[in-house]
Each structure stands twice: as C-alpha cells, then as structure tokens.
Amino acid sequence: MKYDTNQLEINKVQKSKIEEVNFDNLVFGEIFTDHMFECDYVNGEWQNPKIKPYGPIQLAPSAKVFHYGQAVFEGMKAYKDEDDQIWLFRPDENFKRINKSSARLAIPEFPEEFFFNGLEELLKLEKDWIKKGFGNSLYIRPFVIATEECVSANPATKYKFMIICSPAQAYYSGEVRVQFSEKYSRAADGGVGAAKAAGNYAAQFYPTNLAKEAGFQQIIWTDANTHEFLEEAGTMNIFFRVGDKLITAPTSDRILDGVTRKSVIDLAKDLNIEVEVRRVKVSEIVEAARKGELKEIFGSGTATVINPISGFGYKGEKFELPKLEDSYGKSFKDRLMKIQYNQAEDKHGWRHLVK
C-alpha cells in the first residue's frame, strides 16, 4: 500500500521558545524543540500524520502501554554543516530497526513514506535548533506506544507513532569504568534484546545502580546462560582491541544491531584493521588485560559515537586500561564525525541530505 504524504497536516507554534534556550549549557535530553510529529493507528491503519506544537499528550489510564509495555523507540541525530545543510546518518537503518522492534512487540509496522516525510518536514521546521559546529546536533527520538484503552493482556488495536527532538552538544561522559556482569542479564535467547523495547532499558536500571554503588558507570552485559561471554553495554555495542585486532560480539536476538557498530566494522575494514566478529569470552579479555595485550575497550552508539572505557571490574578485581596515543576509538570517532558533518568523503553513501 502507498501512503499519501499529502495527508501531513502542519500546525506551527505561534512563537518559538528557542530564545529561552542556552545552547552552550545543554543537559542531554532535557530540552525539546517547538514541534513534534504524531500519527495514529486506528481501524487497522496508520492515519492522520501531523506536526504540531510539542506538548503533553492525553492518554487514558487504561492505555495498554502502561500495563503491558508495548513501547519501542529509536535514537538518531541530525547534523548541520558549514553551509547550513542538514544531514542524517544512515536513517534508513533506524527506520528498518524501529519496524523490526515493533514486529517483535506485535506493534504494526510504520509506513516508510510517513516516516521520512514526517521526519524531514519536522527537521526543516526545527532547522534553527540544529547548531553548527563539530559535536552539536539534534537528537531525534521516534517512538511508538500502545494507546488502546483496555487492560486485557493482548496486543493493542490503537497506537501512536511520535517523533520528538532535543538539541544536543558534544557529550563528554568523563572516565567510564564498566563492570562485567556476573549475575544480572539484559537479554536472553528468544527474548527482546535485539529490539529497542522500552522495557529493556527499565530492567537495566537496578543492576546499573548496584554497579554505580560499586564504583562503575556502566555494565557490560554477559550472556544470560553462562555469563562467560561479553555482549553489549546499556546503550552501546562494545569493541575490544587486543594487540592490533578488534573483537566484537556478533549481533543476535540478544544484542542490538547498532548503526554505529556496523559503521565501525566497515571503517576498520577500509583501514585494514583486522576485525573479528565472534563471541568474546570474559576469560580471554581478563587474560589479555593481565598480559598487557588489552589495549582498548570502547563502546559505539549514536549518543556519543565512540565512548572510550578506561577500566573494568570483574569478580571484585579492577583493571585499568592504558591511555593510548594511537587509539582506534579516537580515530573511528573522528572519521565518523567528519562523515556525519559533511567534512569528509562519504564513500559508503551513509549521509542523507534533508531537502
């Protein structure tokens, strides 16, 4: 079925609130732009796409999202180059992934025409919120929730697809030390780990709080069956550099197929860096650290691009990683950002111009 994008209704704010925002002091995810995109699923069809002023939505207390957690989301960014052009990075991947997440949670898939038309019209309206400069961006949060008023435990017949946007600055997370998980799990075989399902994140908060009390900022999750294999972090895929080789876990139904992860793998291949995509044993990483062969661990994800990890803990022991001049993580971050900001050749065709 072809969806008619002429249906998009745009209702603009009378006065922008942009002047009230201090763009030099943004806390990630706290400020939202003037408008949002909204589209409803009713009578078996996605309909009435609209852009309207950002603001609260009304839901019944019986809306299924509150009871059974039918909710999925995405995270992507828009960047502005020196000529005021707006770019997205591999947005087709986020579009495919939100529908994959939806399918896993029995949520109807969203039409591609509505997604790109809604997103691009929204970005054009919010162009002044996307600031120039390396590191500045507009974080984009598409999400879907079940809105049907009914507490019977089966898939809803009504949903809302929305996109909200939040201006973001270059993000420095400080030194990040991670704990390798020994007890708790994020995902299991046959579960929803590969979906960006809201509940996956809720379930991480408690064990992450325990890790924080023990002096770590994040957890690297291990496989639920044996806790012997390293999988991913809360919002990042994870790479290990042992010697000059990169190792990362394969995606599976437990691990999110990260856009940054797959881009790093492609860039590594371009640079003739050996990458092994295979299960990563906790014991081999601990042993490599003891021998001084573990040179780097870094996370990859849209929010920070590449997040260096300065140390890790396992079974009560703490390991520190060396500070490298020739860090792979730093080099990938620089290369990826130059592509995102239209400052370098994009030989893989990852950039998408918002016209």
Ligand X SMILES: Cc1ncc(COP(=O)(O)O)c(C=O)c1O
Return the structure tokens found at 302: 């849209």
State how far Cα 243 lies from the chain centre: 29
Minimum distance between the CB of residue 153 and ligand X, rounded to whole angstroms? 26
Confirm or reject binding of residue 231 to ligand X (CB under 6 A): no
Residues that contact ligand X, how many (by CB under 6 A): 14
Whole-number Å distance between alpha carbons of 267 and 203: 33
Burial class, 5, CB count within 10 angstroms (exposed 0-12 / middle 13-18 / buried 19+):
middle
Helix, strand, coil shares of the chain, percent, nearest 5, are 25, 30, 45
For tokens 């704010």, what's the residue?
13
Contact with ligand X (CB under 6 A): which of 49, 75, 167, 207? 75
Per-residue mark of binding to ligand X, 182-201 (x: CB under 6 A): --------------x-----
- What is the C-alpha to C-alpha distance for residues 36 and 31, in angstroms, rounded to an integer? 13
Binds ligand X (CB under 6 A): choice among 185, 235, 304, 340: 235
Among 77, 177, 241, 261, binds ligand X (CB under 6 A): 261
Establish if 236 lies at the interface with ligand X (CB under 6 A): yes
Among 99, 136, 251, 302, binds ligand X (CB under 6 A): 302
Interface with ligand X includes 207 (CB under 6 A)? no
**Binding marks (x or -) toward ligand X, 25..44, rule CB under 6 A?**
--------------------
Give the DSSP per-residue string, 86-143. EEEESHHHHHHHHHHHHHHTTPPPPPHHHHHHHHHHHHHHTGGGS--STT-EEEEEEE
Task: Pick the closer one to ligand X by CB: 142 or 301.
Answer: 301
Residues near ligand X, by CB under 6 A: 75, 196, 232, 235-237, 256, 258-261, 300-302
